[in-house]
A and B are shown apart, each in its own frame.
Chain A
Amino acid sequence: MSITPKTKRRNLIAPAEPKTQRLLNRRKVLTGMAAGAVTLSMGPAFLRRASAATGPIKIGMPLALTGPIGIVGQQIKRSCELWAKMKNASGGLLGQKIELVVEDTGGNPAACVRKTQQMVDRDGVRIITGIVFSSEALALAPKLKEWNTIFMSSSNGDGRLTADALVPNFFRPNTSGPMGARTVSLHLRQSKSNKIAALGLDYAWGHNSVQVFEEEMKRAKKNFVGKLFAPTGTKDYATYIAKLKDLDADAVFLVLQGDDNNAFLSQAKQFRLGEKMELLTEIVDLDSIRAVGDASLGLMGSSRYSFTYNHPKNKEFVALWQKEYNNVPDTFEGESWQTMAVLEAGILKAKSIDAEPLRAALETVELESVKGKLTMRKCDHQAVQQGFMVKVVKREGFSHPVPDVVAVYPGDVTTPRCNKTSYDD
């Protein structure tokens, strides 16, 4: 299924009109008006630019802090705040303090674009991060060039952002949706389960991941028995559960999140679906596990980040987090931490926060992060990184079940081909 018309792709990566032309147009419009007024309006803008060069490093965060997915925005905010606090305590970056400019978008792309525009124009922000929804990210991406701003993704899973919809100033240090689907597929290759079904949310992310998964299953010579899509905000999953039973699958791949994920897992447990088939999910997170409690036990899936991953960098981070927040970090808290580590490495390498040198530096970042070895890929700005398969289990010392890492797949098999959302083998 083609998700976007061809022309749209072209427009997404088409360069914005040159700056000189814009200035020219402006002048045309201003013809007949007092020339002094021009300097009046341009003046403050120049002053702001100047102060941006010497002042603190401002990072714009247009986040969905309220609304149904507000929890993701809250996680990203917490993580970046801790990172900024740590950096500032040791003198900042390049001798400059870090300042986070946080705004609530409510998850609305229109508000997201408007507020980011304001951050760029008024606050002199040249780096943005934390955008929660793919719809917001897709709306912002075409504007990055005009704004001369770098977009560091920490939660955007939409595969196309590093494929068809890639723009030069976009970077994705986090795990994408197709990578999650791939990790589950790699796990299933070794599994006895043969009849496989999929259930995804009826929007771009769900369709994208299910499509990648279906191709994977066909290549693995599994019997793919069917795919279902539920509209976002579905309250009653009984009919989908009945259909999955009717398909008689051995395993089902789930691409659900937030309220939908919680509703499905709670109701699947009540219908004893887990006794009939293996439940595998694209994204396991603590927030959902806490919300559904024991109904999540036994669930397996890929994890974009788990605090249980055994790695020195991760242990250090979890200890720091526990000290600060008296809690363990969740998925997007770990992902944001990794994104900030990549950004930091890029800034130090470029010795600048200007888009041009920073972009060049980010394209070659290599580091050990909380998720292990990470290499930024120049060709599509996706970070090559490990994939984690986890199982939700009870563990002593925790009031809720926790995801336990059961398998780790190296970055070169979990990351798709350059500029693609699919895999070869």
Chain B
Amino acid sequence: MGLWDSYRMRVRRKRRLVRALRKSAELSCLQDNTRAIQPSDVLLVCTMRNEQIRLPYFLEYYRKLGINHFLFVDNDSDDDTVAYLQGMDDVSLWQAKASYRRAHYGVDWMNYLKRKYAHGHWVLVVDPDELFIYPFCDTRPIQALTDWLDSSAIRSFSAMLIDTYPKGRLSETPYHAGQNPLEIANWFDSGNYTISKNPMYGNLWIQGGPRARVFFADAPRNAPALNKIPLVKWDRRYAYVSSTHALLPRGLNQVYETDGGEKASGALLHTKFLDTLGIKAQEELARSEHYANSREYKAYAKALEQQPELWCKWSEKYINWRQLEILGLMSKGNWA
């Protein structure tokens, strides 16, 4: 990478930060508990819309993992999201009524909040349908991981998105609030992921899984990106550039080993494929607020009419992180 490239990236990063600041005008604070944040706290930042049904389990899961404070952006929900979160001591809540798409799918809002509140903290950025797992997550809290990353001088941690889905039709088993979504959507694809390197930001570009297999078999290039770097020791100079797929400065995207070894990595179990997806797809289609003109939701809406089955004979049933590590989807690296 030449000097010119570095300069370009620097300008791009600064523009992102300025943009985040400008877009922060769209945020109105509904509940500010940020004064309770302690210096060593691990934070979680999340943007959502009409996800009230998922929140009870989401909060339970991440509190148990050791998240100390939640920073939520509610994008104009018309369900009970806001009322539900109000009064929780470890939750700070903002509302944005403006366009999700024009805020770079929420990235601008969240970049702003992280710049303001997460400087010097480990921060996890996930969607409400994503469950973060990492090596030893069943026996060690997230602070064990972040302490280890700190002592290894690692600033960012990769967790690939793994789509989970139920056996049978989506509408067959309704999801109810507070339930572990993995009780329903507990199957995944283990070995059909393609990887290439994105020369612009130096991150890996991973595609595949059931979404590529079922919805994008005719246009694999358009299949959603599954690479994510959701856990970062934040610095106010950092910025996510597209969802949590890539960051600037580019060094943060070097979460993979190129010299033959394995770095430690985790996974985000993506429990999108529940009975709730049908309504969601219709709604998002009407709003057209998602990436590439909601290309993904168009594909779902079309395929969902035919009630597709994502499950196949070669689907793996999810057991635990060790299974994912053996399958080669994540790695302990040198953490033991």
A and B, one complex?
no
Name B's A-contacting residues (CB within 8 A).
none
